[in-house]
A and B are shown apart, each in its own frame.
Chain A
Amino acid sequence: MNVPTMASLFAEGKQPEVLFWVGCAGSFDDRAKKITKAFVKILNKANVSFAVLGTEESCTGDPAKRAGNEFLFQMQAMTNIEVMNAYEIKKVVTACPHCFNTIKNEYPGLGGNYEVVHHTQFLKQLLDEGKISLEGGTYKGKRITYHDPCYLGRANNVYEAPRELISKLDAELVEMKNCRKKGLCCGAGGAQMFKEPEKGDKDVNIERTEQALETTPDIIAAACPFCNTMMTDGVKNKEKEASIAVMDIAELIAKAKDL
């Protein structure tokens, strides 16, 4: 696996086409690291000129901002923007819809202007440009249901790229009763990931997992590391982990290509 850093390329006088923004989950969370690696394998396979910031990357500030800590958010944002602007970054791709939303929508006002794409959009583009090809087989006859991440779907109107990728996998895409604009949250957004939920009858991820299970899927596809965690926990709670896998779109593709 080849993972160049911005610093090393800079030392060689090189500029990659795109910065892969890994994010905190993608860097540290054991489950999310697998998504990161799957995505890098595809980037390597497609000979994409990319780099990561590595130890120069820091949290975008999303959870702080959603929790109400605008100070901390802007401190993080300005630090990151300084680093990215120093490397003259033009294009950013990330596998985390929260990083995607924050860098795309909230960084420009603080001096960070980049073309920002989610990894599902990037993969779709690679496919359209013929840089990767997807042959069915692995998923033939499998039922895949796709969970819309709030910060990709409603927040930024990206609904089709992940679905088109799934349909290219020769799998049967089955929709939950709440999908696209009406997609139900996994329960992690707004910094809920980092706290105990308020008192209620049920956890949000259980409600969403029940909706997913209603479609009798073989695989629940996610496009966000936090949704992935919440849905994985939900499936475990329902004791279905032996028969139903929760996988990121990048993982689905990497597996189909035997990477």
Chain B
Amino acid sequence: MAYLPNILFGLLLIAAIGYFAKNVKKLSRNIKLGKPADTSGDKSERLKNMSLIAFGQSKMVVRPIAGLMHIIVYLGFVIINIEVLEIIIDGLLGTHRIFAPLGKTYDILIASFEILAFLVIVAVVIFWLRRNIIKLKRFIKPEMTGWPKKDGNLILYIELVLMFLFLTMNAADLQLQQMDAANYVKAGTFPISQFIAPIFEGMSMNSLIIVERTAWWLHIAGILFFLNYLYYSKHLHILLAFPNTYYGNLKAQGQFNNLESVTNEVKLMMDPNADPSAAPTDDAGEPDKFGASDVTDLNWVQLLNAYTCTECGRCTSECPANQTGKKLSPRKVMMDTRDRLEEVGKNIDANKGIFVPDGKQLLDDYISREELWACTTCNACVEACPVSIDPLSIIVEMRRYLVMEKSAAPSDLNNMMGNLENNGAPWPFNQMDRLNWAKES
């Protein structure tokens, strides 16, 4: 019976990691539903981008207040995880504070975890105020109702609870250390929880052990729950920000990709030696679909982008269309892409690995044409994203579908394109008049 807690802990750990792994597999399968992406380019430049933007948080600090708070929570997350390692080893081996023999180093470690935990609490409270009391504009946009709103707050509550449990655990431990309780090795400095410890004065050793154990178990169980919460949440960015910044665009932001399938056809059209009546010689079967009407027409980096989005709304707040009251919100484009991809994934799960057409698509059922046509392709959203997401490429891909597959451009644009085709200019001027300006005074 002495090993029951160890066994329970082991089972909890296996269950949590197993379930998480199952979802990661699903996530990776969904992302791979995308088309091949151009991931060429210098690997060292990609690594540099990942180090600066994801590890170094370089784009977060463009907005100093949110940036600073975010760095605190990020550092808290990364550094406090060293403590989680100790908790896992203790849990499996039935030890208590196995890193305690580190002595002075251990004191410093525990002290820094505590200070970080406190700072995280402060940051999380400020984040909560910004969302719920100050109501920053970007957090109350139409796409931020229902689950996205709840999700944003839930993450803050979970982080708050985890930090309080961690400090409670330490406070009870400190009290037990001072009472010379067996198994409670005298180790660590507790700059924050020393102020919580007095609450426990006068409690019996047994009750204190119950408090300490309960906090310990709830803390680690909470962390494992949080790990599994990620897949269902925008909070997935804590993992995906790294690959996403790695695979971020390396080219000039103004450069849109040239569709190769189009190049081949245009070359054929312009080749004076080509036989226009010749039947297609390739046995490739169906011709390529131009542009995107559904998530599977996008490339896998665009789908990774969608899962990486943490709905911060910096893109939307910089978008000129959104700022002037148009329907377009680049954040919504990313959320819609993710939600549709999840829907497609669930469809595949429910139908033994095969997607059964559901009469829905990303275009119209999620993203309206009005949104797509409001974009000025100004790249403000791309520039604003702290994790290298590119909403613009999805908008352009969907415009391509509308124009090339459906001939469904707004009539003004059809006029412009008609002029361009006939006169080589977007206006109805004759190409032969192109140099007239030189003769005018």
Interface residues of A (CB under 8 A from B): 1, 3, 5, 22, 24, 26-29, 33, 36-37, 40, 52, 54-55, 57-59, 61, 63-72, 74-76, 78-79, 101, 104-106, 109-110, 150-151, 154-157, 181-182, 184-185, 187-204, 206-208
Contacts and interface: CB of A to CB of B under 8 A. Distances in A.
A156 B376 CA distance: 16
A198 B404 contact: no
Contacts of A184: 320, 323, 380
A105 B265 CA distance: 21
8 contacts: A28-B425, A69-B400, A110-B263, A150-B254, A151-B254, A154-B379, A195-B413, A197-B374
B324 A202 contact: yes
Contact of B438 (A3, A28, A188): A3
Nearest to B418: A72
Given A195-B373, A196-B412, 20 more contacts: A27-B434, A54-B435, A54-B438, A61-B420, A65-B256, A66-B377, A67-B403, A79-B270, A101-B252, A150-B376, A150-B377, A150-B378, A155-B379, A157-B252, A191-B413, A194-B412, A196-B410, A198-B327, A199-B325, A199-B327
Closest 9 CB pairs of A and B: A155-B254, A68-B399, A201-B325, A190-B377, A58-B424, A200-B325, A105-B255, A185-B378, A195-B412
Contacts of B251: 105
B424 A76 contact: yes
A64 B417 contact: yes
Given A74-B262, A110-B258, A154 B253 contact: yes
Nearest to B428: A28
Contacts of A57: 424, 434
A72 B421 contact: yes
A67 B110 CA distance: 57
B270 A154 contact: no
Contacts of A154: 253-254, 378-380, 382-383
A190 B263 CA distance: 21
Interface in B328-387: 328, 370, 373-380, 382-383
Interface in B402-439: 402-404, 409-410, 412-413, 415-417, 420-421, 424-427, 429, 431-438
A182 B426 contact: no
Contacts of A70: 258-259, 262, 290, 400, 404
Interface string B132-172: 00000000000000000000000000000000000000000
Contacts, number: 215
A189 B434 contact: no
A190 B375 contact: yes
Nearest to B251: A105
A155 B399 CA distance: 19
Interface in B287-339: 290-291, 318, 320-321, 323-328
Interface of B: 251-256, 258-259, 262-263, 265-267, 269-270, 290-291, 318, 320-321, 323-328, 370, 373-380, 382-383, 396, 398-404, 409-410, 412-413, 415-417, 420-421, 424-427, 429, 431-438, 440
Contact of A69 (B321, B324, B417): B417
Nearest to B382: A154
B441 to A, nearest CB: 9
B320, B416, B433: most-surrounded residue (chain A CB, <10 A): B320
Nearest to A188: B376
Nearest to A57: B434
Contacts of B382: 154
B424 A33 contact: no
Contacts of B253: 154-156
A5 B435 contact: yes
B258 A74 contact: yes
Contact of A74 (B266, B376, B398): B266
A194 B416 contact: yes
A114 to B, nearest CB: 15
B379 A71 contact: no
A65 B432 CA distance: 24
A63 B373 contact: no
Contact of A194 (B377, B379, B413, B431): B413
B416 A52 contact: no
Given A67-B403, A182-B383, A195-B410, A27 B252 contact: no
A170 B412 CA distance: 43
Contacts of B415: 194
B373 A24 contact: no
Given A71-B265, A78-B266, A187 B417 contact: no
Contacts of B323: 184, 204, 207
A204 B376 contact: yes
Given A64-B417, A70-B290, A198-B374, A27 B425 contact: yes
Given A58-B424, A74-B258, A105-B252, A182 B318 contact: yes
A72 B417 contact: yes
Contacts of A75: 266, 269-270, 421
A195 B399 CA distance: 15
A37 B324 contact: no
Contacts of B410: 195-196
Contacts of B254: 101, 105, 150-151, 154-156
Given A5-B435, A150-B379, A194-B415, A187 B320 contact: yes
Contacts of B432: 55
Given A70-B400, A194-B415, A24 B438 contact: no
Contacts of A61: 420
Given A64-B420, A69-B404, A24 B427 contact: yes
A33 B427 CA distance: 14
A196 B409 CA distance: 12
B400 A68 contact: yes
Contacts of B421: 72, 75
A48 B39 CA distance: 41
Contacts of B290: 70
Contacts of B375: 190
Contacts of A194: 412-413, 415-416, 426
A29 B428 CA distance: 11
A219 to B, nearest CB: 23
A68 B266 contact: no
Nearest to B432: A55
A63 B321 contact: no
Contacts of B401: 68
